Structures are given as C-alpha cells and as structure tokens.
Copies of this chain bind each other. A is one copy, B any other.
Amino acid sequence: MGQTKEKILITALELFAQNGYEAVSVSDIAGQLGITKGALYKHYTNKRAIFDCIIARMERQDAQRAGEFALPEGILAQMPEKYCHTSLEQLTAYSKEQFRYWTQDSFGAPFRRMLTLEQYRCDEMARLYQQYLAAGPLGYVTDLLGSLRFDHPQQRAAVFYAPMFLLYSVYDGAEDKEAVVALADDCLERELQRLTGEQNIERTIHKKA
C-alpha cells in the first residue's frame, strides 16, 4: 500500500515547517518514521521530490477550495449593488474558513509555516508565499471592494485582510489559541458590519445624485 509514501510526505512537511527545507536531513525524516533513509528512496527519487510533491498537493487543494467558495465575479461587475451584501458576507465566511485552514488544518498549517521559512530562498517560493498569504489575498479583497464601488479599496482591503494575516502569526505563538480564533472572527464581523454600513451610505448618496 502507498501509506508509507503519505506518511513520509506529512512527516517531511512537519519537519520542513519547523526547521526549513535545508536544515532537515533525509535521515531526520526517515528516523522520525522509524525507517532507514534507504527505504525512503523507494518512494521518492530524492529529497527535492518530497518538497515538490508537497507544493503540488497544495496547488491542487487550493484550486479546489477556491472553487468551492468562488464568487460569481462576472455577474458582480455588472450589478454590484444587488449582490453587495451577499458578496461581503461570502467574503467574510471565506476568510473565516481560510483562517481555520492556515492555522488548524493538518496540512494547511504546517504548509503555511514551511512557506514562511522558504519565502526568501528563491523567486518561486517568494511568488507562492505572496500568492497564498500576502499580496494575493490582499489583491483579491482589493479587487472585490473595487468592483463593489468602494472608495480607497486598497486601504479598506488592508484593514479587512491584514488582521487575519497578523493573527496567523499571533496564533503560532499564542498559549490560548482559541482566544486568537475568537479575535479573528470578531475582527471579521466588525469589518463586515462597517463595510455594509458604509456601503449603505454610499448607495444613498448615489441615489440622491
């Protein structure tokens, strides 16, 4: 059965997430699993292949997860007012799920930490880090708020997304992890309220004009 191959991948990911790719040896991974490193090479051609396999899995998982929460952006651009409320609520729900995923999921959480450690090693990793965790989500929220006709969409997007991003790190070092999750949810709810409130004002002004 291919169960060992899976165990290797998970164990390697957890070690990479703690020490970084270079600092983890093939012996470390094998030792953690109670096998010799020779055995490991029956499942992966080399150390780099394990890493690549981890990246490939995230790319698959992320595409799938994004699909499940996808917002109909084409429609949104046409009639933003109508879908505004729904869009912001969906964004909030998606953000909560993302927070849970990057902090608590058994694959997502170590992957985020691993990517954090690899982000300065090469352009490819810098790209992935930005895409998944920094400029990517920020740009996504900016575009959404922009298409909903909010002014200063970039600043608003930063205020909306940045607390999540900060709390990923706070979560890592927190003793009371549940309190951090609660704070993240509160921040999202509060900002959702604020945005829907301001959108109402904007819409009223628009109608008057």
Contacts and interface: CB of A to CB of B under 8 A. Distances in A.
A119 B172 CA distance: 10
A117 interface: yes
Interface in A133-184: 133-135, 138, 152, 154-155, 158-159, 161-163, 165-167, 169-170, 172-174, 183
Interface residues of A, number: 42
Contacts of A183: 154-155, 158
Interface stretch (A12-20, A35-43, A73-81, A100-108): A12-20
A169 B159 contact: no
B121 A19 contact: yes
Contacts of A99: none
B155 A162 contact: no
Contacts of A152: 186, 190
A162 B170 CA distance: 11
A126 interface: yes
A69 interface: no
Nearest to A191: B159
Contacts of A126: 172-173
Nearest to A24: B22
A138 B158 contact: no
A44 interface: no
B173 A130 contact: yes
A52 to B, nearest CB: 18
A183 B162 CA distance: 13
A51 interface: no
A111 interface: no
A138 B130 CA distance: 23
Nearest to A134: B169
Given A117-B120, A187-B159, A173 B19 contact: no
Given A18-B121, A135-B170, 5 more contacts: A116-B117, A130-B169, A159-B159, A159-B191, A166-B166
